[in-house]
Structure 1
Amino acid sequence: MQIQVHSDNHIEGSARLVEWVRASVASKLERFDDELTRIVVHLHDDNGQKAGAHDKRCQIEARPKGLQPLSVSHKAESLEQALEGAMERLNHALSHQFGKLRHKRATPLQDDTNTDIPGQDALLHEDFLAEQQLRALG
């Protein structure tokens, strides 16, 4: 899984910040490593140089293999809180999406070779078998 980190002009995108974000995302989303191709993290300071509550925003886009991208965001007072909140939301969204896919794969299909068919279907099945035997003989 490739992790990209982008920040706006108001956030200093130092190598230390990028490595911290990559390590945090990789550890939090490790269980989805084989199912994701790329994670893109966008860090924003909505108010710029002005201070304010909930002015830090983290948006994370995940690209699952063979599926549409998922995007989540979270606003908080600090970058750390914004990143943690966005990762929590993404973790929940990915768990939900992959859980639904696993459930679909695990649902057994009805076996057409079942001879214990109740009711009217059993009679139709017997008629079909009798007709097949007559065709084979004649």
Structure 2
Amino acid sequence: MQVQVHTNQIEGSARLQEWVSAEVMDRLDHFDEMLTRVVVHISDENAHKSGSDDKRCQIEARLKGHQPLSVTHKADAMGLAVDGAAEKMRHALENLTGRLEAKTVSTGRIADAGDVQLSDALLEEEFLEKQDDLERG
């Protein structure tokens, strides 16, 4: 999984980018096989003014064979914003994989027991009819 970190109104030091990449990779490591790229946008919405919930982290996950997922989290501190967004993305990916597994099970399963018994009865009836035709023939 490739993690790209973009900053806006924040000094994007190499240390910050490494920390954000490590934090996101740690939270989303379980989904590594299904992710091609994760893009993280970090910004300070009020620039150099202080304010509540002015740090914003948006994470966009690019999935193999699916539309990208995007989540956003705002907080007072950058660390909290990154943690919150990473946790939201983990939940979104868990939700997606759960839906995909349910879809596979519902389309890939054999018919329920009642359908199987009906099918067996029809096959038995067809077999007996062919046996009768052979005996008469």
Per the normalisation by structure 1, the TM-score is: 0.83
* Aligned-partner residue type, residue 17 of structure 1: L
Residue identity matched to 1:67: H
What is the count of residue pairs matched by the alignment? 133
For residues 129 and 115 of structure 1, the distance between their equivalents in structure 2, rounded to whole angstroms, comes to: 18
1:73 aligned partner: 72
Structure-1 separation of matches of 2:23 and 2:115: 55
- Rounded to whole Å, the distance in 2 between the matches of 1:61 and 1:116 is 45
SS of the residue 1:117 aligns to: helix
- Inter-partner Cα distance in structure 2 for 1:16 and 1:51: 23
TM-aligned CA deviation for residue 126 of structure 1: 3.6
Cα distance, 1:124 vs. partner?
3.7
Q: What is the CA deviation profile of residues 87-137 of structure 1, one whole-angstrom value per residue up to 9, with x for unaligned ones?
A: 1110000001011112322345225xx99514xx555434443556659x9
Runs of 4+ in 1 over 6 A off after TM superposition: none
CA distance in 1, matches of 2:42, 2:130: 69
Counterparts of residues 39-50 of structure 1 (less than 5 Å): 39-50=38-49
Per-residue CA deviation, residues 34-85 of structure 1 (Å, 9 max, x unaligned), is 1110000000111111111000100000011111100000000011000011
Structure 1 stretches of 5 or more lacking a match? none
Secondary structure of 2:117's counterpart equals: coil
Question: Equivalents in 2 of 1:14, 1:81: separation in Å?
Answer: 18
Structure 2 gap segments, 5+ residues each = none
> What is the match of residue 22 of structure 1?
21
- Amino acid corresponding to residue 3 of structure 2 in structure 1: I
Give the direction of change, closer, same or farther, for the CA distance of 1:53–1:16 in structure 2 (3 Å limit).
same
Q: Cα gap change, 1:52/1:116 in structure 2, threshold over 3 Å: closer, same or farther?
A: closer
SS in 2 for 1:103: helix
